[in-house]
Structure 1
Amino acid sequence: MLGGGVASGSSAPSAPEFPCGGQHRGESGFIASEGFPRHYPPGRNCTWTITVPEGQVATLSFRVFDLEPDPRCRFDSLSVFGGHGPGAPLLGRFCGTFRPGALRAAGNRLLLRMESDAATAGRGFLAWFSAGLPPAHGPPHGRRRSGVNNKPHFFGESWHYFDEHQFCGGRLEKPQGSLKTPNWPEENYPAGISCSWHIVAPPEKVVELRFGKFDVEPDAHCRYDYVAVFEGGETDDARRVGKFCGEETPGPIVSSGRELLVQFVSDLSVTADGFSATYTMRSRDAAPEPGPDALNPKAKGGGKGKAPPSPKTVTAAATVVPVTATPCPQRCRRAGTLQSNFCGSDFVLTGTVKSVSRGPPQERGWAVVSILGLYKSGGLGVPQPAKGATLRLQLPCRLCPVLKKGSSYILMGQVGADGGAVLPPDAFVVPYRQQQQQVLGNLSKRPCRGNP
């Protein structure tokens, strides 16, 4: 097998080298971005081909995914095709930090193409490819591993503890149905999987989603295992309804349009019972149905012994209504580079988002960040030393720029008439990587044109 993949049954090296592109042949193996788990290089175009034995279908499931986020994947992206030729169908184009669901080709070939621009980079991707039976025969039955990695929440050095035959997700178009985590209800869900259910209702109808038993590894920011729900059929942060983990059952969710995307992701360590949920498709003006007793979290042997909180219906429309008081651009986009935007911005800092409040359409939103580094203050009056200080930034547009709670960014914005920090829709905002600290430090020492 070429290109750094690990063939099934071979001894796994502790530090395999992953080049830019390559050919992978065999029943299964790993494939990863160039240099993984280090950050992938900028300005690259890499192509990998996968060929499994004739008569079987090629399947790809992602274990790690971290590319520069953008709602339309304009900067860095990974495209997956169901074949090697020029007419091969596009199975998906991905970026950001949400792991795509499992992808299956119609035949025995897959092609991956990753493109990166000259700016921000991430850790890239790690994926497992395998050969399976054609859909008519159903997926092969894998055996579940009870142990994973004793080192939680980061990519381990053992390469063979994944269950490569766990399939879940799919497109759901029946008037009503259910979704659940793999192994439900007999065992915990597996580690290192990603499932995506795309629920599509007929025109003029909406989707109502209700969770039953819910037990997903808890974390204050749901960074490890989580369920995310989106309006539409794509994992677009601007259209995310909610992100859930822990033992508290989310309230009912009603879409504003005819589509909902439900994504479940588990990391490589702790697992839990998982969840079950049901959906129904109903008219827009129909009242939500009362939740059946069968969805009570105590239904499976008492669960964790907690009664469900009184659910409140979450209306997805509240997350996607466009701004009316302050117009937003048709697309969220930024122009130029880190260097070209430095002098044109009133302030430049790096910080971690502590909270984001977008507010109703008629009001401006706010973001509170904890400052990591200040490279240009613009008269904001930030206390010194700036590291650890919090700053409140005004967001005139509800959708742009995209900010995620718990993530760190380079933030270049303007100072408003009231002396406050403002991030306009076209502000230069990119995920922060530690290696950019030196570049920002050097830029802060150079005088900008027109300045003494």
Structure 2
Amino acid sequence: MAKPQTIYSSAPACVYRNSPQELLGTFSHRSSRSVSPTMCRRTGSIFCAWSLLFLAEVCAQSQRRPAFTCGGNFSGESGVIGSQGYPGVYPPNTKCVWRITVPEGKVVVLSFRFIDLESHTLCRYDHVDVYSGHVNGQRLGRFCGTFKPGALVSTGNKMLMQMVSDANTAGSGFLAVFSAAHPHEQGDQYCGGRLDKPSGTFKTPNWPEKDYPAGVTCSWHIVAPKHQIIEVKFEKFDVERDNYCRYDHVSIFNGAEINDARRIGKYCGDSPPAPVFSEGNQLRIQFLSDLSLTADGFIGHYKFRPKKFPTTTAPPTTTTQPATTRPIPLKYSVALCQQKCKRRGTLDSNYCSSNFVITGTVITAVVRGGSMYATVSIISVYKEGNLAIQQAGKTMSTKIVILCKKCPFIRRGLSYILTGHVDDDGRGKIAPQHFVAAFKTRNQKGLNVLKNKRC
């Protein structure tokens, strides 16, 4: 009888303490023909040696599992990066940095396959930051919660990821893959890039010959000189339609990074959005298509404008229809805002006369002219009407305009009961006479009663 021996495979978990004959016998469940000790003796030691090597490789393939650590350096054409301990819960109070390098002359394309971090509207707590480059690079985005962003593309051959966790809530972390791509390739997978000429054009892959492909993300970073802003217009637009633009869509962000708090709008459908104007000298446009339906795509144009250029459109909302916002006539606006700021009636008396009734937290509030433009993270919807609501994972938000910036006065970071009217473009408008009040948990019972009220 052969002397028992220990055989180690390349996977640490694959350790056998059996004779070769016993080991080969265990392979019978993987093959239609058993490899028996008798067969081993008949065919000779070469067959046995080959079989043992094959078995070791099978075990290595089936049991090899990457161990994800806190940070590291990755290089090559592609790779997989996971948070520390993934898919287990990531540890608290950590800061992990991963540096990615692909061959010279190529760019890094990073795609999240899974993400589960403590959720917060502005990702103030646990979060993952992605930067183009290793040192002093431009941040491409900050991410948390469970909503997977589209692919992120660096401007050079380096990318940096940084994950920070605090002492409290934790999840399973993230799993992401990176690959090397040719910059600004006009093929079926990659597009986008940096646009810094005074005017230019951007379009979906394959335009106009055929539909854009499934499963792509294009990210255009438009940079104007300081003291200038950017105007974007879509000439043709046809992207898979959905009421909340949850599938294929175009998002436009103020600034250089993908950041929900700075999103101007999210668009889909077959009607070109209204012209969009940046607040500063940078815009980021992201197009994402999922793995199902596709459409013709779009072609858009941009140009730089003087910062004092008088815009006639307010930032558009998430919509599948044109989002042209009609400005409020100056005389009407002034007269409206000169009235004494006093709330009229109660929530009960205002419920039926309002187009929408929601509770939510103000996450952005920007004054333009005499009005305030706010983004509200929705807690609950009691009366929706035609209010345009955008959804990212489990989070819903909407855009509203306080016609008189100080009446009613709202503050960023606080929660409110909001009522008002909805214009033709789905934007909520709140005038001084509409009911707005600080939201407290005890208000929910009364709001649920009103929700079932017949108007």
Question: TM-score, normalised on structure 2?
Answer: 0.51
Aligned partners of 1:353, 1:312: CA distance in 2, in Å? 22
Q: How far does the alpha carbon of each residue in 1:148-204 deviate from its partner, in whole angstroms, 9 at most, with x for none?
A: xxxxxxxxxxxxxxxxxx332223221111111222223332333333222233344
Please list the CA deviations of residues 204-258 of structure 1 after superposition, one character each: whole Å capped at 9, or x if unmatched: 4332211122111221111122111222333343432211111122111233433
**1:95 corresponds to 2:109:** no
Q: Is the CA contact (8 Å cut-off) linking 1:231 and 1:240 kept in structure 2?
A: yes
Q: Deviations over 1:361-415 (max 9, x none)?
A: 52568xxxxxxxxxxxxxxxxxxxxxxxxxxxxx922565799xxxxxxxxxxxx
| Separation in structure 2 between the aligned mates of residue 88 and residue 112 of structure 1, nearest angstrom | 13
Matched, 1:130 2:179: yes
Of 174, 186, 198, the match for 2:197: 174
The one of 147, 161, 166 aligned to 1:112: 161
3-state SS of the aligned residue for 2:109?
strand
> Counterpart of 2:411?
397
TM-superposed deviation, 1:267: 2.6
Q: Please say if residues 225 and 266 of structure 1, whose CA atoms lie closer than 8 Å, have aligned partners that are also in contact.
A: yes
Residue 209 of structure 1: aligned partner: 232
- Structure having the higher Rg: 2
Q: How has the CA–CA distance of structure 1 residues 220 and 124 changed in structure 2, closer, same or farther, with 3 Å as cutoff?
A: farther
Task: Say yes or no: does 1:422 pair with 2:438.
Answer: yes
Identity %: 40
Structure 1 distance, partners of 2:140, 2:407, is 34
One-letter amino acid of the structure 1 residue matched with residue 366 of structure 2: V
Q: Is the 8 Å Cα contact of residues 322 and 398 (structure 1) preserved in structure 2? A: no
1:231–1:257 contact (8 Å) kept in structure 2: yes
Kept after mapping to 2: 8 A contact 1:58/1:129: no
In structure 2, relative to structure 1, the CA distance for the partners of 1:399 and 1:249 (3 Å cut) is: farther
Question: Is 1:321 the equivalent of 2:395?
Answer: no
Q: 1:30-429 counterparts in 2 under 5 A? A: 30-33=80-83, 43-52=93-102, 55=104, 57=106, 59-64=108-113, 66=115, 67-68=117-118, 73-80=123-130, 89=137, 92=140, 94-96=142-144, 97=147, 99=149, 102-104=152-154, 106-107=156-157, 110-120=159-169, 124-132=173-181, 144=188, 166-284=189-307, 312=324, 321-322=366-367, 353=396, 357-360=400-403, 362=405, 396-397=410-411, 422-423=438-439
Equivalent residue, structure 2, for 1:408: none
| In structure 2, distance between residues paired with 1:101 and 1:323 | 33
The one-character-per-residue Cα deviations of 1:398-433 (angstroms, maximum 9, x if unpaired) are 565799xxxxxxxxxxxxxxx986259xx9xxxxxx
Q: 1:101 to 1:354 in 2, by over 3 A?
A: closer
How much has 1:278 moved relative to structure 2?
A: 0.6
Q: What is the alpha-carbon distance in structure 2 between the residues aligned to residue 398 and residue 361 of structure 1?
A: 16
Q: Using the alignment, how far apart are the partners of 1:269 and 1:16 within structure 2?
A: 30
- The structural deviation recorded for 1:58 is 5.3
**Between Structure 1 and Structure 2, which shows a larger proportion of strand residues?**
2
**Counterpart pick for 2:68 among 9, 19, 25:** 19
Return 5+ residue gaps in structure 1 as ranges.
3-10, 145-165, 290-307, 333-350, 366-394, 404-418, 428-452
Q: Partner letter of residue 165 of structure 2? A: S
Q: Tell me, in whole angstroms, the C-alpha distance in 2 between the residues paired with 1:402 and 1:47.
A: 38
Question: Within 1, Cα distance between the matches of 2:105 and 2:100?
Answer: 12
Distance in 2 (CA, whole Å) between partners of 1:123 and 1:175 is 45
Q: 8 Å contact 1:198–1:260 — kept in the other structure?
A: yes
Report which of the two has the higher share of helix: 2
* SS state at 2:245 partner: coil
C-alpha separation in 1, matches of 2:402 and 2:177: 41
Q: Is the 8 A contact 1:233 1:259 kept in 2?
A: yes
Q: Which amino acid aligns with 1:181?
A: T
Structure 1 pair 78/354, CA: closer, same or farther in 2 (3 Å)? closer
Task: Measure, in 2, the Cα distance between the counterparts of 1:33 and 1:174.
Answer: 39
Deviation at 1:17, TM superposition (A): 6.2
Q: For residues 79 and 296 of structure 2, what CA distance do their matches in structure 1 show?
A: 28
User: Structure 1 residues 398 and 18 mapped into 2: Cα distance closer, same or farther (>3 Å)?
Assistant: same
Work out whether residues 325 and 361 of structure 1, in 8 Å CA contact, stay in contact via their aligned partners in 2: yes
Deviation at 1:44, TM superposition (A): 4.4
* Cα pair 1:228 1:243 within 8 Å, conserved: yes
Counterpart-to-counterpart distance in 1, 2:249 and 2:302: 19
> Match of 1:300?
none
Q: Is the 8 A contact 1:80 1:113 kept in 2?
A: yes
After superposition, give the CA deviation of every residue in 1:243-277 in whole Å (9 maximum; x if it has no partner): 11111221112334333322222233332222111
Cα distance change of structure 1 residues 188 and 98 upon mapping to structure 2, 3 Å threshold? same
Judging changes above 3 Å, is the alpha-carbon distance between structure 1 residues 192 and 30 closer, same or farther for their aligned structure 2 residues?
Answer: farther
Q: Tell me, which stretches of 5 or more residues in structure 2 are unaligned?
A: 1-9, 12-59, 313-319, 328-363, 377-393, 418-434, 442-455
- Distance, in Å, in 2 between the alignment partners of 1:218 and 1:38 is 37
2-side partners of 1:234 and 1:83: how far apart? 14
Equivalent pair of 1:249/1:309 in contact (CA under 8 Å): yes
Residue number in structure 1 paired with 2:78: 28
Distance in 2 (alpha carbons) for counterparts of 1:402 and 1:180: 40
Cα–Cα, structure 1 residues 197 and 327, in superposed 2: closer, same or farther, change >3 Å?
Answer: closer
Q: CA separation of 1:256/1:353 partners in 2, compared to 1, >3 Å: closer, same or farther?
A: closer
Confirm or deny: 8 A CA contact 1:61 1:102 kept in the other structure: yes
Matched residue type, 1:225? D
Q: Secondary structure at the match of 2:402?
A: coil
Cα distance 1:326–1:281, how it changes in 2: closer, same or farther (>3 A)? closer
If the length of structure 1 is used for normalisation, what is the TM-score?
0.51
Aligned-residue CA RMSD (Å): 4.9
Contact 1:57–1:106 (CA<8 Å) still a contact in 2? Answer: yes
